[in-house]
Amino acid sequence: MTTFTQVQTQPDPYAPFLISQAIKVNGLVFVSGQAAIGDDGNLVGVGDFDKQADQAFRNLDRALKAAESGLDRVVKVTIYLTAMSNFEKLVELRRKWWSQPYPADTLVEVSSLYSPDAMIEIDAIALAN
């Protein structure tokens, strides 16, 4: 029988929306889209892609650690941007947050995210420790 384990962070800004930060199942961790949400539940860095991207990666890291995994265990990531003009910045972010072998990656430009001010959201699949 497959057991699903809900992963929660403290604080958990997704709880009011009935979204799990992540789910662990069969040796994998599936992380929900991580945006630039601060501990207070508000968007960080309105109008500033760099601040939003940094917070989104920090949130991804926190969710993975809560799942007893880590950024070094990520095998697949999907990054949603509201402006593909930030692509080059993502290359630098990959260098900052990951090392070789880099995770498989899909980059998608979308017209909007959960908030009209959100500029980036990242979801991931990682190996559980």
Average pLDDT, the chain: 94
pLDDT at 34 over 90: yes
Q: What is the pLDDT, as a whole number, of residue 121?
A: 98
Q: What is the pLDDT, as a whole number, of residue 128?
A: 94
Domain extents for the chain?
5-127
32-61: string of b/e by CB count within 10 Å (b at 16+)? bbbbbbeeeeebbbeeebeebbbbbbebbb
Q: What is the pLDDT, as a whole number, of residue 17?
A: 85
pTM (two decimals): 0.94
Are the C-beta atoms of 125 and 41 separated by less than 8 Å?
no
Arithmetic mean of pLDDT, 99-118: 95
* β-strand partners of 64: none
Give the confidence band of 42 by pLDDT, cuts at 50, 70, 90: very high
pLDDT at 14 over 90: no
Q: What is the pLDDT, as a whole number, of residue 77?
A: 98
Arithmetic mean of pLDDT, 57-83: 97
Provide, rounded to the nearest whole percent, the portion of the chain with pLDDT above 90: 86
pLDDT at 1 over 80: no
CATH of domain 5-127: 3.30.1330.40
pLDDT at 45 over 80: yes
Instruction: Determine how β-strand 28-34 pairs with β-strand 74-81.
Output: unpaired
Instruction: Please confirm whether the linkage preceding 101 is cis (ω < 30° from 0).
Output: yes
